[in-house]
Amino acid sequence: MQNITRRDFLKVGAASTAVLAIECQFGPIASAAERFIEGGRSVNRTSGLPRSFLPSTCMQCPAGCGNISYIEESRVVKIGGNPTHLSNQGSLCARGQAGINALYDPDRLLKPMKRAKGIRGNNDWIEISWEEAYDEIAKTMAAARSNPRDFVFLTDDLAQDDLGRRFTYAFGSPNAIGSTGVYDANKLVGTQLTWGKAGDMPDLAHSKYILVFGANPLESNPQFVGLARRFIDGIQKNQAKVVAFDIRLTNTSTRANETHYVNPGTYALLALSMANVIMQEGLYDAAFIEQWTNVSAAQLAQHLAQYTPERAEAETGVTALVIRRIATEFAATKPGTTISDAMLSNYANGVQNERAVMLLNIITGNIDTRGGLCMPVQYDLAEPSPAPPAPAPSLLSNPPELPFAFQQSVETTMQMIKDRKHSVNVLMTHGVNPVYSNPDMGLTEDVLMDQTLIPYHIAVTPYMNETAALADIILPETTFLEDWDIEVRPSPELVPYVSLKQSVVPAMESARSFFEITTQLAGMIMGGMEQYFAYKSVQGYLKARISDISGLNQAGGLDYLMQHGVWYDPKTRPNYGSFTAGGFATPSGKLEVYSQPLADRNFSALPTYEPIASFRELGNNEMVLSIFDTAIQTDAKTGNCMWLNEIQHDNPVWINPATAARLGIKDGDIVKLTRSHKSGEAKERSITSTAYLTEGIHEEVVAMANGNGRAESGSVAEGEPLTADEITEIEPRALQDPNMKLIWWKEKGTGIGINAKQIVPVSPDPIGGGQAWGDVVVTVAKA
């Protein structure tokens, strides 16, 4: 402590005033009076927010649940579920409630920043104004317009990023690329080929018999809470019998009447052998097969005959007795349905797995019936006019070697850019973190680091992350609680609905919405682009999006949505059996059990089991690696949420005790997983983590949760350093940062865990283009 003389104090005060005056003359700062006005009435943070609560749509995961933000004194103090929402019916998961953490994250980006100098990723940033940022980007992009097709836009879900797609097409590039390839592309392609629509919706609430193939609706599913509620309704209200097949004990399989471990990669064989039993025993729905599929029962029986329960027992590990019994029960108990998700189809034989499981519903007539496997139902939104035409496809947007991958696969994009098969002049990443979520993250990192491959990288994101860290310019985007959009998703109720995402509090500091960003940039790049971004306000744009939905517009349109958060036609009932009027949306109008497009490309045209060779000859210490999603973390959005990190902050390796005993591994030991070498591969890829011994995992499988082990996603996410170097570098911060003091798990366990995806090679299913996350064989050893 020091004392100071009055004279000195006055002197420094006068000197300060002088400096401030100089600065005011030249600098961009606002003088005090500009921000504060004496005698003003009040701090008006709440204008436009007359209520103390506002309904909106949650964006913490893809499900898009209806939420309600409770606002006191212009701050969100709690987020809960919207009871009138058709999908989640009032429930909201931990992620949704932790939206508060996302909005009020002390690590949020609130100023546009430009890379100052040196190489990408060195963390030297410099704040710039929005005007400077727009100016630089517009100039760079206008110059790049001579080769518009070299502009690449990466986003999370392209189906939801209409503005990003619009911006890319308006610029003249076809390369708007979504991340479906690392999520559930194989499932979408499998269903699309079979019934002409991508995806499905098992009517679990009304089913009497539910067969679970690797799915986990109580923890992870694209419709998460909505489907979880229907699953519970099915088993509680409807007394459905649930039989689960999985390689791991999940929250779902533990609530099944019976659960069977199945050998990794053999789901298709299991499903096809059950189908075989149903055909051989004459338990199939002959009339349905005859009328609504493009194969005859005899053809099908003949094809399936190879999949005997005995053969299946030898390969899947499920006994022939069980296979026969469950197949018989399933065929006899109507209505019944299967449920599957990306865990079934994230293999190199993923599309076949999906089609094999669908076949069980088809031969028993459980298609699009009450309690059966239904087609997804959702409203189509209008493309506000004028709409930019889609430019001709490119190698990136439609890779020729993946003809069925109708949603581009972000994991192959990076390899193609690296191999210089497609050049890039400007890359824009929006709300996506491929360095973290892609397989072989070293590859994505290498590409983004290389300025000869990616001359200019714009990251639009509310948070710093592993991908934004490798950008040249970062635009701080609003979070979902400060932004507007219309959200539609497949309805778990099978009645379509429209959900509104609206700003529940004003945008914080200088964060801006993607609508403002794209509109501003298009207006500055010009050259015809601006005509597609002529909407004065996001509300005007959204009104155009819902203009085709007459019932909603009669109810009050956007005003109705602002008040209620969601709209559906109260008179509408599920339209079961919609195919009976006009058939399926396939070339034949029928369920294409035999797929001519697959035959044309020399793939198996009938649902077929294609063994994964590497699984069959596992060495003594070799295991199959399974990376599973939890209800807590996601790839791009939840990394730095404090409450979520408190629940899931690390991801130990699940190992069966029998396997562990054989390998001499004890609970809590540090274990090393090394990806088994493919020929010609130079680098060894390995990770270490802590062993978690549990009977809840197949003996040939090791499993790790997704969502941990982040390097650049904020101080909470990075709670524990990974290497000795980082420990010395970060330790002072760990002691001083108020955030870090609260990370109680820091000293325990595996710290922040590790991203297991980094040792997974890029390997799409040749049909679906979806990443084969499940194909990886690793050597497991005590470290």
State the nearest-atom distance from the C-beta of 506 to other proteins, in Å.
Answer: 6
The stretch near other proteins (CB under 8 A) out of 125-133, 339-347, 388-396, 697-705 is: 125-133
Residues 585-614 that bind other proteins (CB under 8 A): none
Does the footprint of other proteins cover residue 130 (CB under 8 A)?
A: no
Q: Which is nearer to other proteins, 103 or 522 (CB)?
A: 103
Among 119, 126, 287, 390, binds other proteins (CB under 8 A): 126
Going from the C-alpha of 434 to that of each of 299, 410, 441, 469, 764, the distances in angstroms are 44, 8, 8, 12, 16
User: Tokens 């003249």 identify what position?
Assistant: 172
The stretch near other proteins (CB under 8 A) out of 341-349, 414-422, 503-511, 593-601 is: 503-511
Peptide bond into 335 cis (omega under 30): yes
Q: Which is nearer to other proteins, 104 or 535 (CB)?
A: 104
CB environment 449-465: b (16+ within 10 A), e (fewer)? eeeebbbbbbbbbbbbb
Asked if residue 529 lies in contact with residue 171, where contact means CB atoms within 8 angstroms, the answer is yes
The residue among 375, 632, 581, 595 whose CA lies nearest residue 494 is 375
What is the identity of the amino acid at 142?
Answer: A
Side-chain-side CA neighbours of residue 714 (13 Å): 25
State the nearest-atom distance from the C-beta of 82 to other proteins, in Å.
Answer: 22
Which tokens hold the place of 221?
């599913």
β-bridge partners, 460: 430, 475
Residues 404-463 that bind other proteins (CB under 8 A): 463
Among 83, 106, 556, 587, binds other proteins (CB under 8 A): 106
The stretch near other proteins (CB under 8 A) out of 11-19, 553-561, 590-598, 676-684 is: 11-19
Which tokens hold the place of 77?
């103090």
| Sheet strands (E) in 483-534 | 485-487, 498-501
β-bridge partners, 157: none
State the nearest-atom distance from the C-beta of 50 to other proteins, in Å.
Answer: 16
Does the footprint of other proteins cover residue 89 (CB under 8 A)?
A: no
Among 69, 91, 101, 186, binds other proteins (CB under 8 A): 101
Between CA 669 and CA 691 the distance in angstroms is 5
Does the footprint of other proteins cover residue 110 (CB under 8 A)?
A: yes
Residues 718-747 that bind other proteins (CB under 8 A): 718, 730, 732-733, 736-739, 742
Between CA 727 and CA 239 the distance in angstroms is 53
Between CA 321 and CA 311 the distance in angstroms is 12
Annotate each residue in 506-525 with x if it binds other proteins (CB under 8 A) or - if it does not, as one string. xxxxx---------------
Q: Which is nearer to other proteins, 17 or 531 (CB)?
A: 17
The stretch near other proteins (CB under 8 A) out of 12-20, 339-347, 409-417, 515-523 is: 12-20
The residue among 464, 541, 540, 479 whose CA lies nearest residue 513 is 479
State the nearest-atom distance from the C-beta of 106 to other proteins, in Å.
Answer: 4
State the nearest-atom distance from the C-beta of 121 to other proteins, in Å.
Answer: 11
State the nearest-atom distance from the C-beta of 706 to other proteins, in Å.
Answer: 22
Q: Which is nearer to other proteins, 316 or 715 (CB)?
A: 715
Does the footprint of other proteins cover residue 125 (CB under 8 A)?
A: yes
Region for residue 528 given its phi and psi (left: phi exceeds 0; alpha: psi -120 to 50; beta: otherwise)? left
The stretch near other proteins (CB under 8 A) out of 35-43, 269-277, 593-601, 607-615 is: 35-43
Does the footprint of other proteins cover residue 25 (CB under 8 A)?
A: yes
Residues 669-728 that bind other proteins (CB under 8 A): 712, 714-715, 718
Vertex 269: Cα angle to 267 and 272 (nearest 5): 105
Give the strand pairing for 566-567 and 498-501: antiparallel
Q: Which is nearer to other proteins, 581 or 724 (CB)?
A: 724
Which tokens hold the place of 75?
């701050």
Between CA 586 and CA 355 the distance in angstroms is 15
Does the footprint of other proteins cover residue 13 (CB under 8 A)?
A: yes
Calculated CA dihedral for residues 706, 710, 715, 716, nearest 10 degrees: 10
Between CA 646 and CA 597 the distance in angstroms is 48
Region for residue 680 given its phi and psi (left: phi exceeds 0; alpha: psi -120 to 50; beta: otherwise)? left
The residue among 673, 710, 118 whose CA lies nearest residue 720 is 710
Among 49, 53, 75, 80, binds other proteins (CB under 8 A): 75
State the nearest-atom distance from the C-beta of 16 to other proteins, in Å.
Answer: 4
Give first-to-last CA distance, the chain, whole Å: 52
Among 79, 100, 459, 722, binds other proteins (CB under 8 A): 100
Q: Which is nearer to other proteins, 463 or 603 (CB)?
A: 463
User: Tokens 């680098």 identify what position?
Assistant: 683
The residue among 751, 747, 772, 754 whose CA lies nearest residue 762 is 772
Residues 294-333 that bind other proteins (CB under 8 A): none
Between CA 776 and CA 783 the distance in angstroms is 20
Q: Which is nearer to other proteins, 8 or 135 (CB)?
A: 8
Q: Which is nearer to other proteins, 9 or 554 (CB)?
A: 9
Instruction: State the burial class of residue 573 (Cβ atoms within 10 Å of its Cβ: 0-12, 13-18, 19+).
Output: exposed
Q: Which is nearer to other proteins, 34 or 747 (CB)?
A: 34
Q: Which is nearer to other proteins, 13 or 393 (CB)?
A: 13
Residues 6+ apart with CB under 8 A from 421: 395
CB count in 10 Å sphere of residue 9 = 10
Residues 6+ apart with CB under 8 A from 479: 99, 102, 103, 108, 462, 511
Among 177, 374, 469, 593, binds other proteins (CB under 8 A): 469
Residues 643-672 that bind other proteins (CB under 8 A): 643
Q: Which is nearer to other proteins, 114 or 418 (CB)?
A: 114
Q: Which is nearer to other proteins, 47 or 620 (CB)?
A: 47
Residues 39-68 that bind other proteins (CB under 8 A): 39-45, 47
State the nearest-atom distance from the C-beta of 644 to other proteins, in Å.
Answer: 12
Which tokens hold the place of 712?
């650049």
Q: Which is nearer to other proteins, 127 or 290 (CB)?
A: 127
Total of residues contacting other proteins (CB under 8 A): 88
Q: Which is nearer to other proteins, 362 or 743 (CB)?
A: 743
Among 58, 60, 89, 105, binds other proteins (CB under 8 A): 105
Does the footprint of other proteins cover residue 136 (CB under 8 A)?
A: no
The stretch near other proteins (CB under 8 A) out of 111-119, 227-235, 353-361, 369-377 is: 111-119
Q: Which is nearer to other proteins, 43 or 581 (CB)?
A: 43
Q: Which is nearer to other proteins, 109 or 780 (CB)?
A: 109
Among 59, 109, 225, 566, binds other proteins (CB under 8 A): 109
Q: Which is nearer to other proteins, 106 or 668 (CB)?
A: 106
State the nearest-atom distance from the C-beta of 750 to other proteins, in Å.
Answer: 21
Q: Got the DSSP string for 300-363?
A: HHHHHTT--HHHHHHHHSS-HHHHHHHHHHHHHSSSEEEEE-HHHH-STTHHHHHHHHHHHHHH
Q: Which is nearer to other proteins, 19 or 581 (CB)?
A: 19
Which tokens hold the place of 536?
């004065």
State the nearest-atom distance from the C-beta of 469 to other proteins, in Å.
Answer: 7
Between CA 647 and CA 632 the distance in angstroms is 7
Annotate each residue in 537-576 with x if it binds other proteins (CB under 8 A) or - if it does not, as one string. ----------------------------------------
